[in-house]
Amino acid sequence: MRRSLFRLSAACALFAAFAWATPAVAQDYPFDIAKADPAALSAWRAVVPRQYRRQTWIYSFAGVAGPLQRVTMRHKVFYYGSVCIPHDCGGNFVAYLVAADGSEASGLLASQTLGVKHLYFGAPDSEARGLLERQIRE
């Protein structure tokens, strides 16, 4: 009994030491895609309509955003989330789905400031449209 208790205590101490010594992993954000995955950023930029390419919050994900999510759709991993205009998030969002391998991208823009109620870019299928719409609603 004492040996089992000693082993359990040693295992707990080893786990605690390992957990303390292991650095925390920072979460990725949409603006990190430019550095970490240029192919994915190129796929995104290819589908952004020309008239919105000067909007850096849309074209380069240079806006306010939460951590980057990853979803699997059609056996591919996609970056997924939304970005809003800095200092004007209310009613100004672009949702994105970008294949991590850079093979495709799609988005949904809803912006009061730009006068756009609901504009899809790329060629999102019904599953992608549902995910993009969910990002805009949340």
Cα separation of 132 and 138, whole Å? 10
What are the residue ranges spanned by the domains of the chain?
27-137
Q: Provide CB contacts within 8 A for 131, sequence distance 6+.
A: 71, 73, 80, 95, 97
Could you read off the pLDDT of 8-59 as tens digits, one per residue? 344 444 333 333 333 333 468 888 888 888 999 999 999 999 999 999 999 9
Question: pLDDT per residue over 55-70, tens digit each?
Answer: 999 999 999 999 989 9
Evaluate if residue 83 carries a pLDDT over 90. Answer: yes
**Quick one: 27-137 is in which CATH superfamily?**
Inhibitor of vertebrate lysozyme (3.40.1420.10)
What is the per-residue burial (b if ≥16 Cβ within 10 Å, else e) of 29-42?
ebbbbbeebeebbe
Q: Is the pLDDT of residue 81 over 80?
A: yes
